[in-house]
Structures are given as C-alpha cells and as structure tokens.
Amino acid sequence: MTEQQPAPRLAVLGAGVMGVSITTLALARGVPVALVETDPARRAGVRSRIEHELRTAQLMGVPRGPLGELAVTSTAADCKDSDAVIEAVTEDAEVKAEALAEIDRLTGPDTVLITNTSSIPVDELAGRIGHPEKLIGVHFMNPTYLIGTVEVIRGPRTGQSALDGVDRLLGALGRKGVRVADGPGFVTSRLLHRMINDAARIVESGQATAEDVDTLMQDCLGHRTGPLRTADLIGLDNLVDSLRVLHRRTGDEGCRPCELLLRKVRDGEHGRKSGRGFYTYTAGGWT
C-alpha cells in the first residue's frame, strides 16, 4: 500500500480455522482487521492463536513487514465502517445467510460482502440478503499465508463494484484471484473433496494406509501434501460439512461422506486442530 492507496479496512466474521488464517494473512500484509467472534472461549484465545500462526508463517519464510492492527470483538456492529467483510463461519447455509444478512443491514452500499464458503453457491446466499449485488465469493485455501491463489466466484447477481472491491483487497493481500462461475463446490472443492472422500474409502477398505495413499499421490502425481494430510489441514468436520452440501446439491454419490470420515468426526478426530485425524499432531509436526 502507498499513501495514495491506504490499506483497506477489513472485518472477518468467525475465529475458526479459516477466520484465523485469513486474519493472519491480512495482518502480515499490514492490513488492519476487526475479527468478530461471538463465542467467549474462542474469542479469549484468538490472539495467541494468531500470534502462533504469525510465528509459523515467519519460520516458513513468509516475508513480514509492519503488522496490521487487530481488534477482536463480539459484535457485528463493529463491521459497519469496513471496506470489506469476509464471512468465515461454519459451513452451514442457514448460519452463513443469517450472518451475511446482518452485515448487509449494518454496512453501506460500498462495503463488499465476501463469503469464504467452500461449497455453497454464492447466489443461494445472495438470495437471503437485501442487497445481493454486494456479495461475492472468495475461497481462500488454508494456510492462506502460503497459498497465493484464491478462487473468486461472481454470482449471477454480484455487482461490478463488489468485483472491483475484491480485486483491490486481493492486491493488498498479495493474492492472485482466479475467477470461476458459481455452482456447488466451484472448482477446487468439487474436485478435491471428492478425491479426499475416495482416498478415505481406500483406507477404510484396508487397501492402503493413509501414509501410503499420500506418498503415492505426492511422489507419483505431484500432489503437494497428499489428500489425507490436506484433509487434516482443512478439518475433517469442515470437510464432512462440505461433502454433505455437495451431495445434497449435486446428487453425486461420490460426495456422500464415507463412514471412516463420519466416524473420525464423531470421535473428535478433526485433524490438525484437534491433534489427531488421519495423523497425530504434535507441536513439531505430524506422526
């Protein structure tokens, strides 16, 4: 940013895995963030989580200048003066629609509303707010500070002003946006989540271990981390929610969550964030 181009004022709704990751990216790029989290326990620990993510990013070689200012709040009213608001709450259409409708009522016509949904069509959410032209989808991938490309989803009712606002925000965040058409799962989730589901079915059948599946996908097909390590990074609970959305909206049986994924979620094995998923995680990595 320059004196002529001040940092955009950003608000993020939700201090879950993606909300914290997006906030970390913005702060590292000098963008101020108002992070809204209604759960008191999650809100109380969010600053230490963000500090941990910032240290991790630095250890992984991510350049870091002066940090943006962070405000942690419990009320959506603190978003009213933001240039852009990113919704990163749970992957539930009703919860997302309610959050976006509230922000729409609180903000002016120039505020860009961004949903970080991985699977719900943007226009489905746009139909639930008063000004659908303000809404656009931007699908960040975790960890956002390492992955420099995002999906940008322009719904049928998304206005040019929202598209221009997202371009400005992504420029400030140092991210490349690839524009795709609206639809369940867009491109990345439609392909990746079904692949992860199939990989989990192979492990469930006993044909191969999680480690073997990931090694083959990494070494033979060039997948950066392997599908099951990726699943642990996404969060198996989030993955199951997204697969259910895809299954309901496409009818694709390949998107019905397999029993192994469902069992892990029931047992609290949600991946890296819970310490155990397909792998067991320690402070130093996975085992």
| pLDDT value at residue 4 | 58
Closest of 135, 178, 137 to residue 158, by C-alpha? 135
Confidence of residue 64 (pLDDT cuts 50, 70, 90): confident
Q: Are residues 35 and 167 in the same domain?
A: yes
Closest of 80, 1, 64 to residue 28, by C-alpha? 64
Quote the CA–CA distance of 156 and 32 in Å, as a whole number: 30
Where a domain ends, among 163, 181, 199?
Answer: 181
Q: Which two tokens stand for residue 75?
A: 């009320």
Q: Are residues 159 and 201 in the same domain?
A: no
Q: Quick check: is 283 in a domain?
A: no
Q: Are residues 221 and 173 in the same domain?
A: no
Q: Are residues 175 and 206 in the same domain?
A: no
Confidence of residue 6 (pLDDT cuts 50, 70, 90): confident
- CATH code (residue 155): 3.40.50.720
For 232-277, write each residue's pLDDT tens digit: 999 999 999 999 999 999 999 999 999 999 999 999 999 999 999 9
Q: Are residues 51 and 126 in the same domain?
A: yes
Q: Are residues 199 and 177 in the same domain?
A: no
Tell me how far apart the terminal alpha carbons of the chain are, to the nearest angstrom.
41
Q: Are residues 52 and 158 in the same domain?
A: yes
Q: Is the separation of the CB atoms in 63 and 40 below 8 Å?
A: no
Q: Quick check: is 97 in a domain?
A: yes
Q: Are residues 250 and 205 in the same domain?
A: yes
Q: Which two tokens stand for residue 73?
A: 């709040």
Residue 115 has pLDDT above 80, yes or no: yes
Question: Can you point out the beta strands (E) in the chain?
Answer: 10-13, 33-36, 70-73, 84-87, 112-115, 135-139, 149-154, 176-181, 281-282, 285-286
Instruction: Give the relative orientation of helices 259-266 and 188-205 as an angle to the nearest 10 degrees.
Output: 90
How far from 141 is each of 82, 105, 148, 257, 259, CA to CA, in Å?
A: 23, 28, 9, 21, 25
Where a domain ends, among 123, 152, 181?
Answer: 181
Residue 220 has pLDDT above 70, yes or no: yes
Where a domain ends, among 154, 181, 208?
Answer: 181
For 145-187, write each residue's pLDDT tens digit: 999 999 999 999 999 999 999 999 999 999 999 999 999 999 9
Mean pLDDT across the stretch 129-149? 95
Q: How many domains, in total, are found in the chain?
A: 2
Q: Quick check: is 1 in a domain?
A: no
- CATH code (residue 216): 1.10.1040.10
Q: Are residues 193 and 177 in the same domain?
A: no
Q: Is the separation of the CB atoms in 239 and 21 below 8 Å?
A: no
Q: Quick check: is 284 in a domain?
A: no
Confidence of residue 284 (pLDDT cuts 50, 70, 90): very low
Q: Are residues 168 and 32 in the same domain?
A: yes
Structural domain of residue 88, as residue ranges? 10-181
Q: Are residues 208 and 239 in the same domain?
A: yes
How far from 33 is each of 36, 134, 196, CA to CA, in Å?
A: 9, 20, 33
Q: Quick check: is 236 in a domain?
A: yes
| pLDDT value at residue 62 | 87
Q: Are residues 155 and 72 in the same domain?
A: yes
Q: What is the pTM of this model?
A: 0.91
Q: Quick check: is 282 in a domain?
A: no
Quote the CA–CA distance of 25 and 64 in Å, as a whole number: 10
